[in-house]
Amino acid sequence: MRLGAMGDILHALPAVAALRQAHPGWYFGWAVEPRWRSLLCVDRIHLVNAKAWARSPLRAETLHDILALRRELRAERYDLCIDLQGAVRSAVIGRMSGAPRMIGEDHPREWAARWIFGERVHTGGVHVIEQAVEVCAAAAGHPLSPILPALPADHEAEQWAGNLLRDAGQRPVILLSPGAGWGAKRWPAERYGEVARALDQSGCMVFVNAGPEERAIAAAVVQASGGVAQAPDFTLERLIALTRRIRLLIAGDTGPLHLACALGKPVVGIYGPTDPRRNGPFGVPFRVLRHPESKRDHTRHPEPEAGLLTITPEEVLAAVKELLGCAC
């Protein structure tokens, strides 16, 4: 159980990959929101339209879909359900599977969820990936270490990425991802544009990623770059394909940063109100920039956090140079 969002699913993958490697004969299903199915390589994917259900809880179609999901889950006769979401919603859906064992964290994201778990695991890890590994290790009954997951490869998307980089030659490809879940985590687009200009002048090819609701942000970065950065039309499959080919990603605390980590790519993280010790880059070469006075705060303020605004383009470029050893 890990319904969403993108970064949270990617944080769960190293633990599940370790479990699959330790037990290659086991059959794995995953319950997930439809938009994130392209992140998963498992035996069975169960699509959960939880957000649509929440918008229309009393509609007959909602009840029909929930009952259909229950039948689908029970038909697989799962032996074990591991809840890596820690929410009441995911725990209830996990119970619908009928699995005789259900495991989750002792201190889940939503406290009430712990009373739905049959088995609760005390986790001591600081990073959420470490915590997920501890839960999966308890389920398996032996220690596990996180490993890079295998992500699906979409043929059309891989071809698209190859065509996009046809003229790159030996130029390092850098991906900027200026969006974030809320405004307090977003470093200004103008500064991303300044970074893009400097990277272009040093011989890099620069692309800007944007989700469906972030295209205006990407356009602002391209404009601030003087047009040297490119913002192609991304899907999740295309983002995976291009990220496989980049040398480095620059982003805040957002799903594409965690995607780059899952694919083994170096990252420069620009952090403000979220704690990189818990939600930061993991398992790859990285540099995190964060003001020492920034405090952990998940309040969805629309404006960038004050500490985030102290980070300069020059600091970001220095971090890129340190990671890549280039004169950026």
What are the structural domains, with CATH classification, of the chain?
6-140 (3.40.50.2000), 155-324 (3.40.50.2000)
Q: Is the pLDDT of residue 2 over 60?
A: yes
Q: Is the pLDDT of residue 216 over 60?
A: yes
The confidence band for 241, taking pLDDT boundaries of 50, 70 and 90, is very high
Which pLDDT value is given to residue 126? 96
The neighbouring-strand residues paired with 44 are 29
- DSSP string computed for 317-328: HHHHHHHH-S--
Which pLDDT value is given to residue 55? 86
Fill in the amino acid letter for 67.
L
Which pLDDT value is given to residue 108? 94
Mean pLDDT of 215-239: 96
Q: Is the pLDDT of residue 151 over 70?
A: yes
The region of weakest confidence among 36-50, 146-160, 203-217 is: 203-217
Q: Is the pLDDT of residue 312 over 70?
A: yes
Structure tokens at 181: 């879940």
pTM for the predicted model, two decimal places = 0.94
Which pLDDT value is given to residue 106? 96
* Residue 237 phi, psi (nearest 5): -65, -40
- The sheet with strand 248-251 has its strands ordered as 205-208, 173-177, 248-251, 267-271, 286-290
The region of weakest confidence among 125-129, 279-283, 287-291, 323-327 is: 323-327
pLDDT digit string (tens) for 40-93? 999 999 999 988 888 888 888 999 999 999 999 999 999 999 999 999 999 999
The confidence band for 246, taking pLDDT boundaries of 50, 70 and 90, is very high
The H-assigned helical ranges of the chain are 6-22, 50-55, 60-75, 88-96, 128-140, 155-164, 189-201, 215-224, 236-243, 255-262, 276-279, 313-324
Q: Is the pLDDT of residue 10 over 60?
A: yes
Question: CA separation (Å) from 256 to 16, 20, 29, 89, 241?
Answer: 19, 24, 24, 25, 12
| Mean pLDDT, all residues of the chain | 95
Which pLDDT value is given to residue 213? 83
The sign of the torsion formed by the CA atoms of 138, 140, 141, 144 equals negative
- DSSP string computed for 200-235: HHTT-EEEE---TT-HHHHHHHHHHTTT-SB-----
> Alpha-carbon distance 199 to 316, whole Å?
11
Which pLDDT value is given to residue 328? 54
Where is 121: in which H helix or E strand?
strand 119-121
Q: Residue 63, SS3?
A: helix
Which pLDDT value is given to residue 102? 97
Which pLDDT value is given to residue 214? 87
Question: CA separation (Å) from 195 to 214, 253, 276, 295, 327?
Answer: 19, 18, 22, 25, 13
Mean pLDDT of 104-115: 94
The region of weakest confidence among 27-41, 53-67, 142-156, 230-244 is: 53-67
Mean pLDDT of 123-130: 96
The region of weakest confidence among 5-14, 63-72, 107-116, 207-216 is: 207-216
Q: Is the pLDDT of residue 326 over 80?
A: no
- Residue 67 burial (10 A CB sphere; 0-12, 13-18, 19+): exposed
